[in-house]
Amino acid sequence: MIKVTTTELDGVLVIEPDVFCDHRGKYIELYNEQLYNDNGITIKFIQDDISVSKKNVLRGIHGDRQTWKLITCLQGKFFFVVVNCDEESAHFGKWQSFILSEDNRQQILVPPLYGNAHVALSDKVIFHYKQSTYYNRERQFTYAWNDERFNISWPVDNPIFSKRDSL
């Protein structure tokens, strides 16, 4: 069973999988094609990726014109942002943030033409994402994490980021 909720951004969904808990710990089914199809999510995912970050590492804002992404926090807690990066859209620059963690187990479905970024809030974060296309850096767009057009309110003062994410 999964619960699917719409967001303020067109096409962006919050997905909450069932979590089974007992005296041994937790069991979570991260993805079940049939359950997703039954909830109207018929995207075919073909690649899974993981990034591991330490506290205050900020990654993104990246995306492309073709790829759907399903984002999950496997360990820790991060502040996750989705930004409309379609420069032809009346909603260009509109963004929404989410807190994803190993405790809430929420997933975010990010459509093409949306960028996503995250900053690690815990000592260690394991960020998992499924993609509907194979990774191709050449077709990606990148915006600086502090692009003034977006005016994102990041919850850290001095993030750690790559050269790519500061351009």
Could you list the active site residues?
A: 62, 129
Distance of CA 5 to the CA centre of its chain: 15
Residue 2 tokens read as 């999964």
Residues 119, 78 contacting (CB under 8 angstroms): yes
Burial (0-12, 13-18, 19+ Cβ within 10 Å), 61: buried
**Residues in contact with 65: Cβ distance below 8 Å, sequence separation at least 6, in sequence order:** 112, 113, 139
